[in-house]
Chains A and B, each alone.
Chain A
Amino acid sequence: MTTAGTYAPKPGAAPLPRMIRAQAALETRMLLRNGEQLLLTVVIPTLLLVLFSSVDIIDTGAGEAVDFLAPGILALAVMSTAFTGQAIATGFERRYGVLKRLAASPLPRWGLMTAKTASVLVTEILQVILLTVIAFALGWSPHGNPLAVLLLLALGTAAFSGLGLLMAGTLKAEATLAAANLVFLLFLVGGGVIVPMDKFPAGAQDVLGLLPVSALSDGLRDVLQHGAGTPWADLGILAVWAVVGLGAAGRFFRWD
């Protein structure tokens, strides 16, 4: 038995930074522990980078294949974590009442979303480190301004997060699982990740070029492969997706 007074009320929220840190740490642990998530965020990008850099399957144009592939794979890594992984995880958290239960905790909803974003960023940093090391081992020689690269990755994360959360907050968990994987596959093929955009018919290129994954891979390639300055057009496309996606997610997201 417990001594009297054990449960005597002493309520109170923990300090906000502590709550958000704890939540972000938990979300990151959940993600890194999940086999399917790791397949999506680590195994597939790594395999594609190694396979297509070392085996001449796709004509990637002049120069080293890895110089073409590495920027596309970085875009894929951002998409896999911010969009596919986040959509599936959040969809099932919604389905299993995790979001609902946390909504009744002292952690405010925006705090939960901040923690989710932090967890996505931590995962992306780990992905970028891993993929960069592998790309260097494969003979990658990147160019350009690192700040432009960071800006592209940040806006890409915002755009994909908005779309992923919109999906997770409106569809059933199973539908989110199926749709997020399908979109991952379509964007992988049609978004300039491993297949150069000029392989598609001109009319298709115009449409595909507006996808967030195309803008991200194209922008990263302009900077990292060709040493271009800040790719404003691609940043603009990503910014529009981010505003529309995050806005719609904020408006339509259902917590239960």
Chain B
Amino acid sequence: MRSEPVVQVQALVKRYGTKTAVDGLDLVATAGVTAVLGPNGAGKTTTVETCEGYRRPDSGTVRVLGLDPARQSGELHSRIGVMLQSGGVYSGARADEMLRHVAKLHAHPLDVDTLIERLGLEGCGRTTYRRLSGGQQQRLALAMAVVGRPELVFLDEPTAGLDPQARRATWDLVRDLRSDGVSVILTTHYMDEAEQLADDVAIIDAGRVVAQGSPEELCRGGAENTLRFTGRPGLDVGSLLKALPADSTAAELTPGAYRVGGKVDPQLLATVTSWCAQHGVMPEKISVERHTLEDVFLELTGKELRS
């Protein structure tokens, strides 16, 4: 799967007036599913829209499937599929009518009826776009992005506002695209979505990529993991700490509730339980907390609310 990059962005800068939306961003996406994560206003959509050929970079270079989106948009647009964050359909068009239309713009489209059934849009055939529910509108936009059998699909927040069933349907489709050899670039706010779908995750903040790697790599590379247990209050934490490897931490958070931090592995767990055995302590409620992508994300991008 890992071969030629499908998207290559180097030192991309994009300003709107005095505001710098993208500030020297570097991003390489190879085949498979790449998730672009970031808080609101981080520059995700601007980056993706530059790749789609909507915006010209102020500086830097962008290559998508080896093409310059600003200058070779004609060829690029016949090879990619695009799902916008919202809209994109005539308000008076019926769902199947719009999908059939987009199919007609492509040389070898998917079978429209099968796709409609696949995304659970069978009931919406005669309904005009403005009367579809938000979730149905999202799924129609997704269908429009894939109906032309593209090599590469850009999905801008594909499951924002979807109910759990519709989210699963979207995820399943993304997995099928991936296994059939279609590359996917998706932006999302949902950490679980990135963890579930992505081979590669790029975290963007303030117009730059602040971390990139597989979900596992990012979680491993983040802050230390945690082991918690409860026992008798007032245990000798200093003695426990001596038994642990260097760089570990140990603390009694509230009377009887202990936390051990460090490289949490089977060895560490064995060390803690044997220390407890030596001290006649029955450790209860032992739990191991691994860092989630969300922890990594918040650590990198800060916890304060963004407007």
A contact set with B: CB distance below 8 Å: 2, 4-15, 18-19, 22-23, 26, 29-30, 33-34, 92-93, 96-98, 100-101, 103-108, 256
Contact = CB atoms under 8 A, between A and B. Distances in A.
B108 A10 contact: yes
Given A7-B176, A9-B181, A26-B101, 16 more contacts: A2-B114, A2-B176, A4-B179, A6-B180, A10-B108, A11-B80, A11-B108, A11-B150, A12-B106, A14-B105, A96-B90, A96-B91, A97-B87, A104-B53, A106-B78, A256-B54
Nearest to A99: B88
Residue of A9, A33, A256 with most partner-chain B CB within 10 A:
A9
Contact of A11 (B79, B82, B104): B79
Contacts of A15: 107
B114 A105 contact: no
Nearest to A106: B78
Interface in B42-92: 52-54, 74, 77-80, 82, 84, 86-92
Contacts of A10: 107-108, 149
A171 to B, nearest CB: 18
A82 to B, nearest CB: 19
A11 B53 CA distance: 17
Given A93-B90, A101-B84, A11 B78 contact: yes
Nearest to B85: A97
A8 B149 contact: yes
23 contacts: A2-B176, A4-B179, A7-B149, A7-B176, A10-B107, A11-B79, A11-B149, A13-B77, A13-B105, A13-B106, A19-B104, A22-B105, A26-B90, A96-B89, A96-B90, A96-B91, A97-B88, A98-B89, A100-B87, A104-B77, A104-B80, A105-B105, A105-B148
A101 B105 CA distance: 13
B141 to A, nearest CB: 8
Top 5 A-B residue pairs of the complex, sorted by shortest distance between their CB atoms = A97-B87, A101-B88, A12-B107, A13-B78, A7-B180
Interface of B: 52-54, 74, 77-80, 82, 84, 86-93, 97, 101-102, 104-108, 110, 114, 118, 144, 146, 148-151, 176-177, 179-182
Contacts of A8: 149, 180-182
Contacts, number: 120
B148 A11 contact: yes
A14 B100 CA distance: 13
A14 B107 contact: yes
The secondary structure that dominates the A interface is: loop
Given A26-B97, A98-B88, A103 B54 contact: yes
A19 B181 CA distance: 27
B84 A30 contact: no
A7 B177 contact: yes
Contacts of A107: 105
A104 B102 contact: no
B106 A14 contact: yes
A12 B108 contact: yes
A105 B79 CA distance: 9
Contact of B88 (A13, A23, A100): A100
A10 B107 CA distance: 8
Contacts of A22: 101, 104-105
Contact of B148 (A92, A100, A106): A106
B86 A97 contact: yes
Nearest to B109: A14
Contacts of B91: 92, 96
Contacts of A33: 92
Contacts of A30: 90, 92-93
A26 B150 contact: no
Contacts of B108: 10-12
Contact of B87 (A2, A13, A96): A96
